[in-house]
Amino acid sequence: MSNINSKLRESYSLTQDDIRYYQKNGFIKLKQVLDEETLAYFNEEITKVVIEKNPLLGKPIEERNVFEQAFIQIGNLWRTNDLIKKLVLSERLGKIAADLMQVEGVRLYHDQALYKEPGKKVKNITPWHADQYYWPLDTDNTITAWIPLQKTTPEMGPLAFSMESQKHDFGRDLEISDESEAKIQKALSDANLELVDEGFDAGEISFHGGWTFHRASANVSNKVRAVMTIIYMEDGIRLSEFKNEAHPNDRDAFLPGLEPGDIAQTELNPLIYKR
């Protein structure tokens, strides 16, 4: 465990080209952010919690809605497990997030485990969407670390990105759904935006902005696609006015007690990195 703690404090060597790529395209995939020992350790710990807290246990996939078919989703794991907390609050990942966004510091917005079950009979794609549709935050200085807990082949449904899509405002009023898949796909195609849809090596992590459009194909392998995500926001960001039904729900879950205009800072939003 001491080796893992040390690794999570070490600084990752981002280049200026990395930062320029992220700023231009709205996402980046980075190799060897975690080593095999660290990855295996957190795969085991996070999977234990997902199995214990799985809200879809016993619910046939055919009876689930589009969101439930896409993945098993469990949030705020850092509050339930002190070991997972070390990953979620790690300076190594937090500094990458701050450097890519070019901000002075980042706080935790929330974390989520996203486990995509294998299955060839049911369409368990993750439809096109932009995360920040759900977030009542007043700037776009948000970023998600998407952390596959194993090597993720194309058959397992890795995250795919539309390059430079954060510069477009179409589809920002759509929650994740069959409608978002169809309408955003057409808009991206009409805009002639390039798709990046590739597997992830073990230890490779992607970072994408809140308004970057992304999706994932179905998991047609025979393995669960285990992923942990960490969502960061710029330190000092404020709550926005509520613009859809998701906003007050997200406020209650991750920014409890705050009102529009308040600084987004509660006990659920610790400071992870500050220059």
* pLDDT computed for residue 94 by the predictor: 98
pTM here is: 0.93
The model's confidence at residue 24, banded by pLDDT at 50, 70 and 90, is: very high
pLDDT digits (tens, 9 = 90+) for 231-266: 999 999 999 999 999 999 999 999 999 999 999 999
Q: Residue 64: its pLDDT value, please?
A: 64
Mean pLDDT rounded to a whole number for the chain: 92
Residue 132 has a pLDDT of 97
Are 87 and 266 in contact by the 8 Å Cβ rule? The answer is: no
Domain boundaries, the chain: 21-255
Q: Is the pLDDT confidence value at 267 over 90?
A: yes
Q: In CATH, what is the architecture of 21-255?
A: Sandwich (2.60)
Checking if the pLDDT of 1 tops 90, the result is no
Residue 10 pLDDT > 80, yes or no? yes
Q: Is the pLDDT of residue 122 over 80?
A: no
pLDDT at 63: 65
